[in-house]
């Protein structure tokens, strides 16, 4: 089986530059994309890439345009799609780039599947047209609902996003398959289209080795969170829970960027148990997870996007062998019962749950963490998920 992945799979050095200069981090987009590539290649699928830089519109990102070109990363060949990074023009130029660059690539490579990463309407509609023009099957990875309006979006940007929802749904109705992080993404936005629910992939190869983790200095009473620093993700609740605790030895580590950064630094100045936010590379994060006492996913459950959202960090948390405390999101499968520890999405609930985990005997914490790690490595690794993706796509056609 041969597949072309159209989306945002770019070299590591480019994503590091984007994370340094962009208003929003693209780390999870990057890691999911490369997890898909690794999973498919491990399952015997030949993959090549058509990729655009995953950046915010200017001026949230300082560059007004991104050039085309070739790249090779992790043994995979890719082509950059050039585009103008301005509101409105970004969609238009990415569509033309996909048609011009992607058309030539599909004619030469003749893939069995064109896989689209995300609900980016220019890429979705290119896939719809490519099905007709080149006879290639099209499948879409739905990692988020279309048209999510952020608090920082302007009125024009919000209106354009709402318009994009209808455009996206019409395109999804014309593809051959969808692969979703949560089942409602398929039922609500691609009803009747064959779907595979795959809440994520854990890339074992990109993780610290057992020897590195065992050689790291173990810490105690360390609470760790990694991800976007926003109220929507429950970070404010978590910080307040630690501040309200009477435990003088508690420490909260926060890794990421977001709207709450300045507020968190103000809290740090008055409560030294809250450490200033930092950015780390993936292998460094793995060591922080493994040497923490508890890892927390505090996302509030009563938000519209929650039913469509599986927390991207949850699999990494679980794989580390450290107990994971999480709110009971409807998108977390029932298989995770007993592998994670549930908490309420309130300051009081988080404070109590953190104290309960820290007060557990160390042997019990290790047992909970070990069971979760074993589950993820056996069932959610790139190899396991790659086989699921290949089997799903194979069942929809007669490719060998």
pLDDT digit string, tens, across residues 58-95: 999 999 999 999 999 999 999 999 999 998 899 999 99
Q: Is beta strand 222-226 parallel, antiparallel or unpaired with respect to 195-197?
A: unpaired
224 and 98 together in one domain: no
Q: Is residue 34 part of a domain?
A: yes
- Which of 336, 327, 335, 323 has its CA nearest to residue 306? 327
210 and 328 together in one domain: yes
- Residues 198-218 as b or e (16 or more Cβ within 10 Å = b): bbbbbbeebbbeeeebeeeee
183 and 250 together in one domain: no
345 and 287 together in one domain: yes
Tell me if 77 sits within 8 A of 70, measured CB to CB. Answer: yes
Tell me if 86 sits within 8 A of 58, measured CB to CB. Answer: yes
236 and 371 together in one domain: yes
Q: Is residue 351 part of a domain?
A: yes
Q: Domain holding 60: CATH number?
A: 3.40.50.2000
User: Which residues form the domain of 229?
Assistant: 204-379
103 and 214 together in one domain: no
Q: What are phi and psi of 230, to 5 degrees?
A: -145, 160
Q: Is residue 167 part of a domain?
A: yes
pLDDT mean values, one per 10 residues, the chain (400 residues): 97 92 86 95 97 95 96 96 95 95 93 94 95 95 76 61 80 96 93 95 78 61 94 96 96 94 97 95 85 95 85 91 95 94 96 96 93 95 96 78
31 and 135 together in one domain: yes
Q: Is residue 328 part of a domain?
A: yes
Q: Is beta strand 76-80 parallel, antiparallel or unpaired with respect to 83-84?
A: unpaired
Q: Is residue 172 part of a domain?
A: yes
15 and 69 together in one domain: yes
pLDDT score of 148: 60
183 and 293 together in one domain: no
189 and 214 together in one domain: no
272 and 354 together in one domain: yes
pLDDT score of 399: 43
Q: Is residue 400 part of a domain?
A: no
211 and 323 together in one domain: yes
């Amino acid at each position: 089986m041969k597949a072309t992945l159209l989306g945002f799979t770019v070299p590591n050095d480019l994503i590091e530059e984007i994370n340094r200069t962009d208003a929003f981090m693209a780390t999870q987009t990057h890691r999911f994309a490369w997890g898909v590539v690794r999973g498919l290649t491990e399952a015997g699928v030949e993959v090549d890439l058509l990729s655009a830089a995953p950046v915010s519109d200017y001026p949230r990102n300082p560059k007004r345009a991104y050039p085309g070109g070739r790249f090779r990363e992790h043994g995979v060949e890719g082509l950059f799609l050039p585009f103008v990074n301005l509101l409105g023009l970004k969609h238009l130029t990415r569509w033309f780039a996909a048609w011009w660059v992607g058309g030539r690539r599909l004619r030469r490579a003749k893939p069995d599947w064109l896989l689209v990463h995300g609900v980016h309407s220019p890429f979705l509609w290119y896939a719809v047209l490519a099905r007709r023009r080149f006879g290639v099957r099209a499948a879409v990875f739905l990692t988020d609902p279309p048209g999510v309006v952020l608090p920082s979006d302007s009125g024009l940007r919000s209106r354009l996003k709402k318009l994009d929802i209808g455009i996206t749904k019409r395109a999804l109705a014309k593809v051959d398959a969808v692969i979703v992080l949560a089942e409602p993404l398929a039922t609500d936005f691609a009803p009747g289209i064959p779907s595979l629910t795959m809440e994520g992939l854990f890339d074992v190869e990109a993780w610290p080795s057992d020897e590195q983790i065992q050689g790291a200095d173990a810490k105690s009473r360390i609470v760790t969170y990694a991800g976007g620093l926003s109220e929507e993700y429950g970070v404010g609740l978590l910080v307040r829970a630690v501040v309200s605790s009477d435990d003088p030895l508690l420490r909260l580590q926060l890794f990421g960027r977001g709207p709450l950064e300045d507020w968190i630094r103000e809290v740090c100045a008055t409560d030294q148990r809250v450490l200033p936010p930092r950015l780390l590379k993936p292998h460094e994060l793995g060591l922080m997870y493994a040497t923490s006492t508890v890892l927390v996913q505090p996302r509030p459950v009563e938000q519209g996007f929650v039913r469509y959202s599986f927390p991207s960090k949850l699999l990494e948390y679980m794989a580390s062998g450290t107990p994971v405390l999480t709110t009971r999101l409807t998108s977390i499968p029932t298989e995770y019962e007993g592998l994670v520890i549930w908490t309420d999405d309130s300051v009081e609930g988080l404070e109590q749950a953190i104290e309960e985990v820290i007060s557990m005997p160390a042997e019990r914490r290790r047992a909970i963490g070990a069971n979760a790690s074993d589950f993820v490595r056996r069932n959610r690794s790139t190899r396991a998920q790659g086989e699921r993706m290949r089997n799903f796509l194979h069942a929809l056609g007669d490719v060998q």
